[in-house]
Amino acid sequence: MPFHPAYPDRLTRRQFDDEDHMTAAWVDGASPPSDPIVITESDPEWPHRFSDHAGEISRALGDVALRIEHVGSTSVPGLPAKPIIDIDVHVADSSAEQHYVPALQGSGYRLIIREPWWNGHRMLVSPQEADRVNLHVFPADASEPLRHLLFRDWLRSHPEDRERYAAVKRDLARSTAEHPADYNLAKNEVIDEIFARIFSAPPSQHPSWPDTAGP
């Protein structure tokens, strides 16, 4: 399936991390989660949880937060997911951690991942295990947060792909339950298939496509 020519290569190519990079990414002795994968059915409370956290993040960061978005499976109604809210925060420069990390720490978040080589990504987590949030900070011009929005919006409006992705997630949650690191890798095949359909459509069909996202 050919990609529409309007999409830049940096957006359509998946970027991989090698094992050495991933080891170096963990901050201050933080370690990867090792809990078994648990997938729950879609919960109508997930959007409300996002709204509560987004409001707190907005108050903490003010104008530093250029955009705050609910992403990941909990952002798609009807899609089963790990009950963890994923939030993308777009900032002008994610390397300027002094502009956002102290403020987020003041709200209880903890910086656990720093990946300047991968879209300038930083990740913080909320302290409440019962209301877990993975907060991802990216520079606004990075490719990965746009990929997150395109994928989210596509699944919201394409029920066949949403159900296909849901079935794969349920199967993989069972088969990789005791090996959480394998779960995300195993999803890549179906994710890439869905992205092929996303990128075959013209950008104008995507609600989140920005006017400035040219090559």
Q: Where are the domains of the chain?
A: 18-203
CATH class of 18-203: alpha beta
Beta bridge partners of 122: 114, 137
What per-residue confidence (pLDDT) applies to 215? 45
Question: Going residue by residue through the chain (215 aa), what tens digit of pLDDT does each one get?
Answer: 799 999 999 999 988 665 556 667 889 766 655 677 889 999 999 999 999 999 999 999 999 999 999 999 999 999 999 999 999 999 999 999 999 999 999 999 999 999 999 999 999 999 887 899 999 999 999 999 999 999 999 999 999 999 999 999 999 888 876 777 788 888 999 999 999 999 999 999 999 998 755 54
Beta bridge partners of 134: 86, 125
Q: Are 79 and 155 in contact (CB under 8 A)?
A: yes
* pTM (two decimals): 0.92
